[in-house]
Chains A and B, each alone.
Chain A
Amino acid sequence: MRTPRTLEVWKLGTVNYLKSLKLQDKLVSERKANRIPDTLLSLQHPPTYTLGKRRTDHNLLIPEAELKSIGAELHYTQRGGDITFHGPHQAILYPILSLRSIGFGARSYVEALERSMIEFSSLYGVKARAGNKCETGVWVGDRKIGAIGVRISSGITCHGLAFNIDPDMKYFEHIVPCGIADKEVTSLRRETDAQLPSEEVIHEQLVTCLAKVFSYDDVVVKEDPSAILNTLEDDD
């Protein structure tokens, strides 16, 4: 009989990117030491461009110096994937999971993240699909609605997925999104006429879809973000 598996979910609201990186580093160590269960961060970022390990900054189309004037930051990370934009009205999930405990490898993990976003899209009648080879992510036709960029160290995941609810699409014009030049970026708002509920509800639905795809038995939601965000202040 399989031991019941628990996912602990932290709803963090809007979090500065660097702060979220620090938090993930801390949680990855905790997860590796088995001091916490599989954990999921549900959040948004202020306008932020990020690059992956391959540092493909040729895909940033405006000078770095100009980013401040458009109210955005740029960060280099250790995740996989190319350049992307994060901002308000884009739902971000960072699962901090032990892949060994759930018997997943990188490929099956990323496919499950894609399935989570596809399930979620279907709640609004949007027919999304996983990307073709070399186009990891979630697409509606030829338009990208969800992006993935993950890091796995000692079998523990961090970074994760970003799903466009209704972000300001102008920000995507300053990059070659994910390094794919001839494809558009889209959002849930653009793909459905359905009435969208509050963003809080939308985030909860996305979390539920992920928990279902990963077969978690219990989902424990932690509503007080200050409990983990404030512990970071001490390290500054």
Chain B
Amino acid sequence: MAARFLWASRAASHLRISVAQRGFASVVLKDLKYADSHEWVKIDGNKATFGITDHAQDHLGDVVYVELPDLGRSVSQGESFGAVESVKATSDINSPVSGKVVEVNEVLTESPGLVNTSPYEEGWIIKVELSDAGEVEKLMDSDKYSKFCEEEDAKH
């Protein structure tokens, strides 16, 4: 837990973080976009990389398995494309944007825990070729997402 806090503090000192009312804040990166199902997306021209957020991995527990889609498969905004397993629970991962899968992070098959320890970097899940760049408008920016996480956590 201490090591993770150090990592988060280092990341947070370069970026804006959300400060939740209680305890440890989840890390939210400024230059990414976010879906309300807690996936992040990084746009690079017509390619997008996605994964799940720090908030998501914290609420999941230790990830022991990642189900990756096949290359070339189509994904649609808001639809499931894979799953992670943690604490005997499989949770679907939804695609934040539509497109075609051009790369998957095979490393996750051997090291699923990267989703927990490095959700925005080594724990990336897939890369797609965007089919509709306009869809990104429907996603949240870092400020909106931080607020969204706070509101969700307040319900518990």
Contact = CB atoms under 8 A, between A and B. Distances in A.
Which one of A80, A103, A151, A153 has the highest number of Cβ atoms from chain B below 10 Å of its Cβ?
A80
A172 B86 CA distance: 24
Interface residues of A, number: 30
Contacts of A102: 155-156
Interface string B50-83: 0000001011111011010000000000001001
B87 A136 contact: yes
Contacts of B60: 105-107
A110 B89 contact: yes
B2 interface: no
A134 to B, nearest CB: 8
Interface of A: 52-54, 78-81, 100-110, 133-134, 136-137, 148-155
A210 B4 CA distance: 33
A107 B80 contact: no
Interface residues of B, number: 26
Contacts of B143: none
B88 interface: yes
A199 to B, nearest CB: 25
B155 A101 contact: yes
Given A133-B62, A150-B89, 8 more contacts: A53-B85, A54-B85, A78-B90, A80-B87, A106-B59, A107-B60, A107-B87, A152-B92
Contact of A53 (B58, B67, B87): B67
Nearest to B78: A154
A202 B68 CA distance: 41
Contacts of B83: 53, 78
Nearest to B153: A103
